[in-house]
Structure 1
Amino acid sequence: MSELRKVPKLSLKEYQNPETQAEFAHQLYSGLSEYGFVVISDHGIGQEVFNQAYELSQKLFDLPLEAKSQYETGSGQRGYISFGKESAAGNPYPDLKEYWHVGPELAEDSDYKTEYPDNVWPKEVEQFQPFFTKLYSDLNSVAETLFLALAEAMDLDRNFFTQMISEGNSIQRLIHYPALTGLEVGNSIRAAAHADINLMTLLIGATDSGLELLDRDGNWLPVENQEGDLVIDTGDMMARLTNNQLPATIHRVVNPKDGSKPRYSIPFFVHPRNSVTLECIEQFKSNGSNDAPITAGEFLDQRLRENGF
């Protein structure tokens, strides 16, 4: 039966229609409960925007290493992170990728302006800063809508999640998986099996296949999406809040049979404010909570250390 399983696909238009809103919320919750993943269409960000995002990403990663390295902050939270730097928690083999992090652009009077690292912007890539600042905002808006739907499905206060992510430490990651031709791959793959750290991830459909999730039957299931879709998954922070009812599903990016082409991917990792306490929601405590309360900032720092930072 497992070969028939498939990550559900939902249209965000259904949530914007009062007649189908409740059903969308239910399907979003049930899909994330069963798979930890859903695919979302009709979210309002055009494919032409995604195309431009990948064009600018390619220009960034095509820069000489010397140029990119000047933007490597060492924190793992902003700017450039060089090839082979990150490994999945508990995995001694580095992932076959390099990437770039964009965080929030906060108001000067924000309480978190000095707490979060500042963004760094590559001066060599024209339009990079305004484009990805706008895309960050657009993806955050989609996330807010999805969180309203989840709150409805869980019978929580409508703004339960959106309050958490207001001025949150969310991260937009631009990933380049280089062509494997000529690389000494060893035991590494493009992204080793891992769960995301955050509440929720919105992934712009990658330029090539390779994403797989570990389903409840213990099988690796390819995550399929079409142009323009967003792939949604829940992370460790959401698993802590829901006592694993919405799981942090293990996933990976496998090496292709034809390693001659690079792969680009852009996930948007939705984080709460650092000061938010991650504590099991009351309705999920019936079997006892598996995790002690911890702030989002403390949890992020802990996981970054596990990933090599």
Structure 2
Amino acid sequence: MSQGPIPTFDIGEYTHAESAASRAAFVKKLGDAYREWGFAGIRNHGISAETIDAAYDVFKAFFALPDEVKKAYHLPGSGGARGYTPFGIETAKGATHFDLKEFYHIGREIPRDSKYADVMQANVWPAELPEFKTIGYALFESLDALGNVILEVLATDLGLAPDFFVERTSSGNSILRPIHYPPIPEGDVPNVRAGEHEDINLITLLVGASAEGLEVKSRKGEWVPFTADADTIVVNIGDMLQRLTNHVYPSTTHRVVNPKGDSARAPRYSTPFFLHLNPDASVGVLPSTITPDNPSRYPEAITANEYLMERLREIKLV
């Protein structure tokens, strides 16, 4: 079982529910967990270990390439939207020191004559690894599909039409981000692998949280380690969904801490999928989440792309 009190759920209880009552019970159970934690583990998700392992193998192969080769896939001025972002750039909001990581961004493949083409760049694929595109985008699509199931559950929990979120994310500027945290040098290092932060997007699906380091901040202000089982995908609420739901679902602060001792000399890899709204979708408070006890916290609506750009500037990617 996962460490700490953050729960893990079998999504098959929803996708293969034997009755409307059992499906409704699962919706309430998962909804309650997100209202309390903003985080949950999801197992029996249907993404095979072979798919995940193949993706990690090709991502590790990319990060093992020489720096000068990797930097050919860095697109200066793009805000890291696609391609490679080198070590030493991303910095958590409010942090003094940059995160100890490098990463790659795979986005949604859209027609270049799409109305979103001006804000959703074309993907960049490493020529040195021809299988990177096929394997990486397969994982993108698998996580996108799983995200749609989670969003259907959450929409139902909020009393909305089941496809409320899904139809607003069908062309979303979602990102698959393979991350490499290199070995940490000996001595005092003020940086951490990922400073405490909240995610920008709607929901995040994290593949590879079985490595130690992820910690989630509880409502009491305590840091709770969340080292999931290998077959579990960690799914958390992002700031866009927190805003849409007037904080009914909290976007919980989390971080990736540096390991101790010999473990610090080993690299760490993880792959979050940041599921985003369509760029022109409104990130305005849902009327059903406004109550006398929870008045609207955000009177002004903003589009998903406007909100994304504000936040990218805060973390020094733009």
AA of the residue aligned to 2:137: T
User: For structure 1, which runs of at least 5 residues remain unmatched after alignment?
Assistant: none
Aligned to 1:299: 307
Name the CA distance, whole Å, in 2 between partners of 1:181 and 1:53: 27
Aligned to 1:290: 297
State whether residues 9 and 39 of structure 1, in contact with CA within 8 Å, keep that contact through their aligned partners in structure 2: yes
Aligned to 2:72: 70
Which residue, 170, 174, 180 being the options, matches 1:176?
180
Matched, 1:13 2:15: no
Aligned to 1:281: 286
Following superposition, the deviation at residue 208 of structure 1 comes to 1.9
Q: C-alpha offsets along residues 207-262 of structure 1, whole Å, 9 cap, x if unaligned?
A: 62100000001100011311121000001001101111101100000000021100
State whether residues 173 and 267 of structure 1, in contact with CA within 8 Å, keep that contact through their aligned partners in structure 2: yes
Name the CA distance, whole Å, in 1 between partners of 2:138 and 2:103: 19
Matched, 1:267 2:272: yes
Following superposition, the deviation at residue 80 of structure 1 comes to 0.3
Which residue, 112, 124, 127 being the options, matches 2:128?
124
Matched, 1:186 2:189: yes
Structure 2 residue matching 1:264: 3-state secondary structure: strand
Q: TM-score, normalised by structure 1?
A: 0.95
Q: C-alpha offsets along residues 244-299 of structure 1, whole Å, 9 cap, x if unaligned?
A: 11011000000000211000000000000110110111121112211221110000
* Deviating more after overlay: 290-299 vs 192-201: 290-299
Mark the CA change 1:207 to 1:100 in structure 2 (over 3 Å): closer, same or farther.
farther
Matched, 1:135 2:139: yes
Following superposition, the deviation at residue 90 of structure 1 comes to 1.0
Following superposition, the deviation at residue 109 of structure 1 comes to 4.7
Which residue, 54, 61, 64 being the options, matches 2:63?
61
User: RMSD of the alignment, in Å?
Assistant: 1.4
State whether residues 207 and 263 of structure 1, in contact with CA within 8 Å, keep that contact through their aligned partners in structure 2: no
Matched, 1:229 2:237: no
Number of residue-to-residue matches in the alignment? 305
Q: TM-score, normalised by structure 2?
A: 0.93
Following superposition, the deviation at residue 22 of structure 1 comes to 1.2
State whether residues 206 and 263 of structure 1, in contact with CA within 8 Å, keep that contact through their aligned partners in structure 2: no
Mark the CA change 1:100 to 1:185 in structure 2 (over 3 Å): closer, same or farther.
farther
Q: Percent identity?
A: 39
Aligned to 2:96: 92
Name the CA distance, whole Å, in 1 between partners of 2:25 and 2:121: 40
Q: C-alpha offsets along residues 155-182 of structure 1, whole Å, 9 cap, x if unaligned?
A: 1012110011011000000000001135
Q: Deviating runs (4+, > 6 A) in structure 1?
A: none
